[in-house]
Structure 1
Amino acid sequence: MNKFLALGVAALAAVALAGCSISGGDLIRPGQPTATLIIINGSYGYLDAIVISDCDNFTYGFNRLSDGDSIAPGDARSFTLSAGCWDVGGGEFGGGEAYERMTLSAGSVTRFTITD
């Protein structure tokens, strides 16, 4: 059991040293220009999870919606991100999901529609 704990601690330390984040990282990096990402719910269900992470990160990270929050069908949610490469995904509990890698230019507005 201690061997597995040690391996887990070592893996987390490696992630931290590599500059990666389990959470997906900060959406806005200090001193960098920003862009707007609009996630549109084009599905028939409520989107319960939106994940956004820097393309260099090893994971999509945690849900960017607050606990109990969701995006209703036909509604949208805006996120301000630093310009650059992002892995973006979203979905509904027990339903469809979509993921895409995108590059956001400084000052741009990008729309990403998640459908069933």
Structure 2
Amino acid sequence: MDLTQLFTIDMLGTMAGMTAFVALMTQITKYFVKGTTVEKFDTKWYGLVWSVVANVAALIFLTQEYTASSIFTCFVNTLLVAVAAFGAFDVIKSVDTNVKSKSEGVSGE
């Protein structure tokens, strides 16, 4: 694995790679859309859009197979990647909240 690239084609082909990509793109780009109509949407809908974009791009550029089964698999993968990205973000956010509350409790004594 070449460590000079954050995302390679092989990594984006995996569930973990696609989930990491969608989570990062959602969190990074939501700050660029502040003040627009996109900001009014829930972040989960915005992440679903990124999941659709990433999975359709993978279908077009990586697999280049446009059968009914590959399109259905792309649809299922889109939902799985979006849900996994949402779950990963929620876990990280709850751990951060727990660490902050415990550190405030220790420093407040």
Superposition TM-score tier, normalisation by shorter sequence: under 0.3
Q: Which has the higher strand share?
A: 1
Task: Kindly name which structure, 1 or 2, has the bigger radius of gyration based on alpha carbons.
Answer: 2
TM normalised by structure 2 equals 0.25
Q: Which has the higher helix share?
A: 2
TM normalised by structure 1 equals 0.24
